[in-house]
Amino acid sequence: MPRKYVFLAGVALAVLALDQVTKFYVLDALSGAYDGADGRLGVFFGAAPEAGFDSYHYRPKAPVVLSESFFRLRYAENPGAAFGLFRTLPDNLRGPLFHLVVLGAVVLISYYYSQLTGQKVERFAKWGLPLVLGGAIGNYVDRLSRGFVIDFLEAHWFEKAFWPAFNVADTAVVVGVGLLLIDSFVRKEPKKVVSAAPARS
């Protein structure tokens, strides 16, 4: 296997592992998912119970406040895409849509990555693509196992404005897309200089 694909797989797997490990502990610290459970891994990777009257599948615990005015850790369940997109779609549409989106992302990222030649100017794409891939797979694992994504990072502005709750996978996708945007500016194709035709006498 070429070295660059080892890098792609390594970064993507590192993002996936960090994402899943944080979600595993979030279920313990910020929800009652493991209360009375025989095996935590079985709960984590298994199907979630039916949602209650408050629409939660697992009972949330009190949030952990890191900054009263700006940031806290709060258990949230997101049946949609990153930052809550498409969460209002019916299940019979939302499920197939996510399958197609993730499959398409894997194909596009793999193709785009295969075109990299290893030049230093490609460093933003070299990191951005595996970050997006790892983040996409991390949230996809959630949807396959329990039908929703676990979010727990919540930014707000003095309780007046809120950013939708997110997780490690979402962060990796956003950072990866940001790096790809930088790459699109840094690695522009040089314009061809068209020489003027000699004047006829």
Q: Which of 19, 142, 151, 183 is labelled catalytic?
A: 151
54 is catalytic: no
Give the dihedral sign, CA 36/16/139/71.
Answer: positive
Spatial separation of the C-alpha atoms in residues 152 and 143, rounded to whole Å = 16
Catalytic residue, candidates 19, 142, 170, 183: 170
151: annotated active-site residue: yes
Q: Which of 2, 5, 14 is nearest to 135 (CA)?
A: 14
User: Which residues are paired to 76 by β-bridges?
Assistant: 151
Per the DSSP assignment, residues forming a β-bridge with 157 are 161
Q: Could you give the residue numbers annotated as active site?
A: 151, 170
